[in-house]
A and B are shown apart, each in its own frame.
Chain A
């Protein structure tokens, strides 16, 4: 499944499938990007980050891809599990921004058993 965070805020996938959540960022000067997961009733939780000198970074079951040419960021979740159901946010920042993050509006991921 694939979604664009700002235009399709809900993504529904089958358990075991791969999920792709997309994010279009706004500032070409941004040099650091983070994906967060927020479960219902909890604060956002760091998942994975990537700097602008990279185009891909892998974690455990997650991969972040960065395309600076089109200012696009994606989060891929392999073998999606029910525990992955949450809202996913991308955030961007740049040097000298006093570590302030610019947040996307989020994409809700629903995993069907």
Chain B
């Protein structure tokens, strides 16, 4: 699992509340990613980071923000959760080999917004 943990693993919250998901890695990988996975949509990139304080948007970034103040932690924040953000969220890291762009995934966080 490339030393990736996500917390919490499950969360139920109410519409309008802020939510922060944490991704932690132990191997100093430069690239980190947040995805959401929904039936019929596969994996969709929310935001990614290519270094400390360096982040960029993915294809479904509206309603989400991220922060990376340390190499090992990448936080995903839903400022005001909506029911459409009910999903499974996966964090991934990318190994820095020049030959590959392989991403390795954490175990996921199941978020339910009521």
Contact = CB atoms under 8 A, between A and B. Distances in A.
A106 B105 contact: no
Interface string B32-61: 010000001111110010100000101000
Interface stretch (B11-19, B73-81, B95-103): B95-103
Nearest to B43: A103
30 contacts: A34-B102, A41-B108, A42-B107, A42-B108, A43-B90, A43-B92, A43-B106, A43-B107, A43-B108, A44-B43, A44-B90, A44-B105, A45-B105, A46-B102, A46-B104, A49-B102, A51-B99, A89-B42, A97-B101, A98-B31, A98-B56, A99-B31, A99-B50, A100-B45, A101-B45, A103-B43, A104-B42, A105-B40, A105-B41, A105-B42
A51 B97 CA distance: 14
Contacts of A44: 43, 90, 105
B85 interface: no
Chain B CB count within 10 A is highest, among A89, A99, A103, for A99
B43 A89 contact: yes
A110 to B, nearest CB: 17
A43 B105 contact: yes
Contact of A98 (B48, B90, B104): B48
B112 to A, nearest CB: 15
Given A43-B1, A101-B101, 15 more contacts: A32-B100, A34-B103, A42-B107, A43-B90, A43-B105, A43-B107, A44-B43, A49-B102, A91-B103, A93-B101, A98-B31, A99-B50, A99-B94, A103-B43, A105-B42
Interface of B: 1, 31, 33, 40-45, 48, 50, 56, 58, 90, 92, 94, 99-108
Nearest to A31: B101
Interface in A12-39: 32, 34
Interface string A82-108: 000000010101000111110111100
B48 A49 contact: no
